[in-house]
Chain A
Amino acid sequence: ETGVTQTPRHLVMGMTNKKSLKCEQHLGHNAMYWYKQSAKKPLELMFVYNFKEQTENNSVPSRFSPECPNSSHLFLHLHTLQPEDSALYLCASSNREAGYTFGSGTRLTVV
């Protein structure tokens, strides 16, 4: 375990479903991130939160909705997704003294 826990590990959802991804860190980091990892593409930054405040939304479609209730928890709410949204969704956390620590990811399949 890296200290960043993501659940669920795997998720299959229909295009009309609503689901949420969860990320939790107890490393004392103040920044949390959502990345999307698709085959043959670089890791794509989606959202950044610093001290619970969203500081970056990297032109992500509104069908992805992040939530950061506190500095240890981060959610990604999903609704009306498309098949091309199928990917590995990675959560990471960091602070100024340490680099990024990633979770193991949620493998999402949209059918």
Chain B
Amino acid sequence: GENVEQHPSTLSVQEGDSAVIKCTYSDSASNYFPWYKQELGKGPQLIIDIRSNVGEKKDQRIAVTLNKTAKHFSLHITETQPEDSAVYFCAASGTNGGSQGNLIFGKGTKLSVKP
């Protein structure tokens, strides 16, 4: 089955700096890679996702890159702000996470943005 590794487990940056979180996956058949942000007391919220037919996707200060050959994908946050502080999870599945594929999650990265 799929196995997702996520690094680092904790990340501390100064406000305005960039943050990068990396994930690797094991199943070459996986084709959907979402990223979730979890704030204290809340469930994970989808922030961006990418499918295997795309190498990069950007949404304002957040971008995700995918290298299918190497089986790794990364989350990039630019111009970090204190409200970006949260736990971020990567995940992988065989479809878009619907009925034919279950999401397998990484262990999470606790991001702290210092003002």
**A residues whose Cβ falls under 8 Å from a Cβ of B:** 2, 4, 6, 30-31, 33, 40-43, 45, 48, 50-51, 55-56, 90, 92, 94-105
Check if B99 sits within 8 Å of A43, measured CB to CB.
no
Binds A, one of B40-48, B52-60, B65-73: B40-48
Check if B46 sits within 8 Å of A99, measured CB to CB.
yes
Interface size on B, residues (CB 8 A): 25
Q: Tell whether A31 pairs with B99 under 8 Å between CB atoms, given A2-B43, A99-B46, A103-B43.
A: yes
A103 to chain B, nearest CB (A): 5
Q: What residues of chain A lie closer than 8 Å to B46, measured between beta carbons? A: 99-101
5 cross-chain CB contacts under 8 A = A30-B99, A31-B98, A33-B102, A45-B103, A100-B103
Check if B107 sits within 8 Å of A96, measured CB to CB.
no
**B8-29 contacts to A (CB < 8 Å):** none
Q: How distant is the Cα of A33 from the Cα of B102 in the complex, in angstroms?
A: 9
Q: Tell whether A50 pairs with B99 under 8 Å between CB atoms, given A42-B107, A101-B46.
A: yes
**B78-105 contacts to A (CB < 8 Å):** 89, 95-100, 102-105
**B residues whose Cβ falls under 8 Å from a Cβ of A:** 4, 32, 34, 36, 41-46, 49, 89, 95-100, 102-108
Contact of A42 (CB < 8 Å), options: B97, B98, B102, B106: B106
Check if A104 sits within 8 Å of B42, measured CB to CB.
yes
Check if A2 sits within 8 Å of B98, measured CB to CB.
no
Q: Tell whether A100 pairs with B107 under 8 Å between CB atoms, given A33-B102, A43-B89, A56-B102.
A: no
**What are the nearest 3 A-B pairs in CB distance?**
A102-B43, A96-B98, A43-B105
A55 to chain B, nearest CB (A): 8
Contact of A96 (CB < 8 Å), options: B99, B105, B106: B99
Contact of A48 (CB < 8 Å), options: B4, B43, B95, B102: B102
